[in-house]
Amino acid sequence: MTRTLDRPVARRAERKGLSEGKKAERKLGWMLCAPAALVMLAVTGYPIVYSVWLSLQRYDLRFPDQRQFIGIDNYVTVLTNSYWWMAFGVTTLITVISVAIELVLGMALAIVMHRTLVMRGLVRTVALIPYGIVTVVAAFSWRYAWTQDTGYLADLFAPGAALLTERVPALGIIILAEVWKTVPFMALLLMAGLALVPDDLLKAASMDGASAWQRFVKVTVPVMKPAILVALLFRTLDAFRVFDNIFVLTNGAQQTGSVSMQTYNNLIKGLNLGIGSTMSVLIFLAVALIAFLFIKVFGTAAPGGADERKR
Amino acid sequence: MAEIVLDKVTKRYPDGALAVSDVDIEIADGEFLILVGPSGCGKSTTLNMIAGLEDITDGELRIDGQRVNERAPKDRDIAMVFQSYALYPHMSVRENMAFPLRLAKVDNQTVNQKVDEAARILDLTQHLDRKPANLSGGQRQRVAMGRAIVRDPKAFLMDEPLSNLDAKLRVQMRTSVSKLQKRLGTTTVYVTHDQTEAMTLGDRVVVMRGGHVQQIGSPQFLYEQPANLFVAGFIGSPSMNFLPATLENGGLSTPLGAFPLTDRIRLLVEGANAPREVIMGLRPEHFEDAALVDGQSTTFEATVDVLESMGSDKFAYFTVEGETATSAELEELAADAGSADLTDSGAQIVTRLSAASAAKQGTPLDVWFDADKVQLFDPADGRNLTYSG
């Protein structure tokens, strides 16, 4: 946009003096950005600020009269509560395990899609189907599959078992549902990364004496590392906010609830805006922290960055 | 070090396309062999088959007398230098060069010693800790060479290793590649589409066209005794001049005039069962300003279109009225040189005259040519009728 406008602006600048032209250009830049910036502020900035504001108050819709500014008391309440930390632990567990499995399976699927020579389009479309299904719908189908006696998978391990009512199997099923749904997304991101690895590099590695596995570990993975990190970042941020699958599969029973479930229970079911908002803000901070750590990792691993330090 | 033999090697792709057909080449131990030809002639496919990066459809590839058709590239003990250099971007120069040794589980001390040695030979010592992204084209090319030589492989394969360099550096690197190969004495197969590289580097040159070997021989031999029209037109710069000609009663009638054949050529032509209509080929250096030659039997007069003075020589361009020589080979050569659509009225002739010539642009000049250096080709199949090799 600015590129196409550069020339007339520059020509005007020659006539009227440089500073004026630059000023006009800057003003134009602001005006072009303004609508997007305003929309961003309205739909993301305002809710964030408002929930921070709510989190600093005692505000329970059942007792609206007792609304009061109480500083960080809500945070103390939440952070000293064992249910919160239980949910936090469950969330972390689901995030780490599901993202790890997704990475491995996603990579395998990406390689298959990358190498497919015939009907490439069809293979890719088929692989993406799980990602195209609405999470809640997929979650219900998993719930029916595992429902005691009637589900087609219910008797897989022991006859008559009610796996969704036991903690560890239920968590396993939640992770399975998450993995099943998001592997295609992971695979798609990783496939873009695979395309970054030049064929010549792999040929050179095989001439240098590398086996297929060595080529993958020593050449493919390092070269596509930026793509892997981006995929991991996206999926980790997503996985940390896991809600739909748990809501449908167990509704948080048997201590399988995530932090998002806790927040929902307090905010929507419990009508406690203060505590609920506090939890939202904490989730926001956790996600921000994850993103920050990842970007820190990027900073040190990005090609160029490392070289700059070495020189 | 090794002897490499290609025995009727053929590559046919699953869709039926024939990339390389019945290639027979024996590469001696320590030889520097060049595969040259226009793009799509099968030279890179041939190289990839020697490397093991492409399967051999038919025929046998032997290294040191052993059949290696089925061996994986890593088990052939061959190093390759790619046109793109194919350096590992995440590794430093040192790690790049050490990579094949690390894979071979060579101990640390030997690795360092060999990498340092290679770096010294290639003048890369001060760049060892840099990443490829921070190197110039020439340095990257040297790292790629370094990665090949640290292993001390049986043979080097080079796939247009200099074509990504700018012209000046290319000439410089050409010399160092040649020196390096002489110094190491390792069998080398080098693919290029540049006939100058082919002429200057190789012990022997293989000219390929459409998957078939056209001729194998030393650069000088290919230059003097091309087996056919394609080799004649491909080797040499500026390339050979071609004109249509007719053989009649022991003489040759050409757009430059009629002249008798020399005895040597007459004997060769008689033995070759020549047709009446032929294509005459003459290299630019076989022309001379008639004023500077004694005993001017074969001369013609033409107007100099363009004169390029190179200091040591003068290149004079003439247009010869009349028909131009046509054949499938010449069309392919023109297409490869990108001059297929440069249609002029009449044939363009390039001549190399000595610096003493008084030729001037736009003025007529008497030009002599050496009738004994004339080569005659059969327009139907392109074979050289005056071939005496």
CA dist B46 and B212 (Å) reads 11
Burial class (CB in 10 A: 0-12, 13-18, 19+), A24: middle
Facing B86 at nearest CB: one of A201, A303, A310: A201
Helix axes B137-149 and B93-103, enclosed angle (nearest 10): 20
CB contact under 8 A, A222 and B90: yes
Which pLDDT score is estimated for A299?
58
Which pLDDT score is estimated for B4?
94
pLDDT tier, A17 (very low <50, low <70, confident <90, very high otherwise):
low
Overall pTM surpassing 0.90 (yes/no): no
Cis previous bond, B238, omega within 30: yes
Rounded alpha-carbon distances, angstroms, from residue B255 to A266, B242, B244, B277, B347: 100, 11, 7, 13, 9
Among B97, B193, B201, CA closest to B145? B97
Which pLDDT score is estimated for A304?
41
| Torsional sign, CA A207, A209, A212, A214 | negative
CA dist A213 and A88 (Å) reads 37
pLDDT tier, B337 (very low <50, low <70, confident <90, very high otherwise):
confident
Rounded alpha-carbon distances, angstroms, from residue A114 to A5, A188, A231: 40, 10, 16
Backbone angles phi, psi at B238, to 5 degrees: -60, 155
Rounded alpha-carbon distances, angstroms, from residue B334 to B156, B177, B236, B323: 32, 30, 14, 16
Backbone angles phi, psi at A88, to 5 degrees: -65, -45
**Least confident stretch, A166-175, B70-79, B238-247, B339-348:** B339-348
Among B384, B369, B371, CA closest to B278? B384
3-state secondary structure B46-112: HHHHHHCCCCCCEEEEEECCEECCCCCHHHCCEEEECCCCCCCCCCCHHHHHHHHHHHCCCCHHHHH
The Cβ of residue B100 has, within 10 Å, a number of other Cβ atoms equal to 25
pLDDT tier, B274 (very low <50, low <70, confident <90, very high otherwise):
confident
Residue B80 at interface with chain A, using a CB cutoff of 8 Å:
yes
CA dist B193 and B160 (Å) reads 8
Residue B163 at interface with chain A, using a CB cutoff of 8 Å:
no
Fold of B238-377: OB fold (Dihydrolipoamide Acetyltransferase, E2P) (2.40.50)
Q: Looking at beta carbons, which residues of chain B come within 8 Å of A201?
A: 86, 88
Best of B47, B49, B74, B111 to substitute, by most chain A Cβ atoms within 10 angstroms, is B74
% residues pLDDT > 90 (chain B):
56
Mean of per-residue pLDDT scores for chain B? 89
Which pLDDT score is estimated for A84?
92
Fold of A81-310: MetI-like fold (1.10.3720)
Amino acid at B299: T
B100: pLDDT strictly greater than 90? yes
**Structure tokens, B64:** 């040191």
Tens of pLDDT along A230-239?
Answer: 889 889 988 9
pLDDT tier, B291 (very low <50, low <70, confident <90, very high otherwise):
confident
- Is residue A202 within 8 Å of A220, Cβ to Cβ? yes
Q: Looking at beta carbons, which residues of chain A come within 8 Å of B104?
A: 209
B9: pLDDT strictly greater than 70? yes
Q: Are strands B257-260 and B299-309 parallel, antiparallel or unpaired?
A: unpaired
Residue B79 at interface with chain A, using a CB cutoff of 8 Å:
yes
- Is residue B284 within 8 Å of B315, Cβ to Cβ? yes
Looking up tokens 């290696």 gives B68
Residue range B4-229 forms a domain whose CATH class is alpha beta
Q: Looking at beta carbons, which residues of chain A come within 8 Å of B134?
A: 307, 311
The arithmetic mean of pLDDT across residues B303-318, rounded, is 91
Question: 3-class SS at A58?
Answer: strand
**Least confident stretch, A304-308, B123-127, B133-137:** A304-308
Mean of per-residue pLDDT scores for chain A? 85
pLDDT tier, B295 (very low <50, low <70, confident <90, very high otherwise):
confident
Give B35's strand partners.
B191, B206
Which pLDDT score is estimated for A162?
79
Any residues with CB less than 8 A from the CB of A51 and at least 6 apart, and which?
A: A277, A280, A281, A284
CA dist A103 and B332 (Å) reads 51
DSSP state of A270: S
Which pLDDT score is estimated for A101?
96
Which pLDDT score is estimated for A34?
94
Among A255, A246, A260, CA closest to A143? A246
What ipTM did this prediction achieve?
0.83
pLDDT tier, A284 (very low <50, low <70, confident <90, very high otherwise):
very high
Amino acid at A121: G
% residues pLDDT > 90 (chain A):
48
pLDDT tier, A64 (very low <50, low <70, confident <90, very high otherwise):
confident
- Is residue A281 within 8 Å of A58, Cβ to Cβ? no
CB contact under 8 A, B86 and A204: yes
Q: Looking at beta carbons, which residues of chain A come within 8 Å of B90?
A: 222-223, 225, 303
- Is residue B365 within 8 Å of B301, Cβ to Cβ? yes
- Is residue B173 within 8 Å of B141, Cβ to Cβ? yes
Q: Least CA distance to A307: which residue of chain B?
A: B131
Question: Widest CA span of chain A, in angstroms?
Answer: 87
CA dist B264 and B247 (Å) reads 15
The arithmetic mean of pLDDT across residues A215-224, rounded, is 93
B193: pLDDT strictly greater than 80? yes
- Is residue B83 within 8 Å of B161, Cβ to Cβ? yes
A310: pLDDT strictly greater than 60? no
Tens of pLDDT along A150-193?
Answer: 888 878 887 777 788 888 889 999 999 999 999 999 998 999 89
3-state secondary structure A118-165: CCHHHHHHHHHHHHHCCHHHHHHHHHHHHCCCCCCCCCCCCCCCCHHH
Tens of pLDDT along A69-85?
Answer: 888 889 999 999 999 99
A205: pLDDT strictly greater than 60? yes
The Cβ of residue A217 has, within 10 Å, a number of other Cβ atoms equal to 12
Rounded alpha-carbon distances, angstroms, from residue A203 to B22, B54, B254: 25, 10, 52
Residue B99 at interface with chain A, using a CB cutoff of 8 Å:
yes
What is the nearest CA distance from B300 to chain A, expressed in angstroms?
Answer: 54
Which pLDDT score is estimated for B333?
83
Q: Looking at beta carbons, which residues of chain A come within 8 Å of B115?
A: none
CB contact under 8 A, B86 and A203: yes
% residues pLDDT > 70 (chain B):
97
Sheet holding B66-67, edge to edge: B18-27, B4-12, B58-63, B66-67
Facing B88 at nearest CB: one of A201, A310, A311: A201
3-state secondary structure chain B: CCCEEEEEEEEECCCCCEEEEEEEEEECCCCEEEEECCCCCCHHHHHHHHHCCCCCCEEEEEECCEECCCCCHHHCCEEEECCCCCCCCCCCHHHHHHHHHHHCCCCHHHHHHHHHHHHHHCCCHHHCCCCHHHCCHHHHHHHHHHHHHCCCCCEEEEECCCCCCCHHHHHHHHHHHHHHHHHHCCEEEEEECCHHHHHHHCCEEEEEECCEEEEEECHHHHHHCCCEHHHHHHCCCCCCEEEEEEEECCEEEECCEEEECCHHHHHHHHHCCCCCEEEEEECHHHEEEHHHCCCCCCEEEEEEEEEEECCCEEEEEEEECCCCCCCHHHHHHHHHHCCCCCCCCCEEEEEEEECCCCCCCCCEEEEEECHHHCEEECCCCCEECCCCC
| Span(s) in chain B for CATH 2.40.50.140 | 238-377
CB contact under 8 A, B103 and A303: no
The Cβ of residue A151 has, within 10 Å, a number of other Cβ atoms equal to 17
Which pLDDT score is estimated for B347?
79
The arithmetic mean of pLDDT across residues B189-193, rounded, is 93
> Dihedral, CA atoms, B123, B127, B129, B130, nearest 10 degrees?
-140
CB contact under 8 A, A208 and B133: no
Helices in chain A by DSSP H: which ranges? 2-16, 18-40, 46-55, 73-79, 82-115, 120-132, 135-146, 167-194, 199-207, 212-215, 221-223, 225-240, 244-249, 259-264, 273-301, 305-310
CA dist B150 and A248 (Å) reads 61
B292: pLDDT strictly greater than 90? no
Burial class (CB in 10 A: 0-12, 13-18, 19+), A50: exposed
B321: pLDDT strictly greater than 90? no
Which pLDDT score is estimated for B282?
93
| Span(s) in chain B for CATH 3.40.50.300 | 4-229
Tens of pLDDT along A245-261?
Answer: 999 998 888 888 899 99
What is the nearest CA distance from A201 to chain B, expressed in angstroms?
Answer: 5
Q: For chain A, what are the domain ranges?
A: 2-53, 81-310
Which pLDDT score is estimated for A305?
40
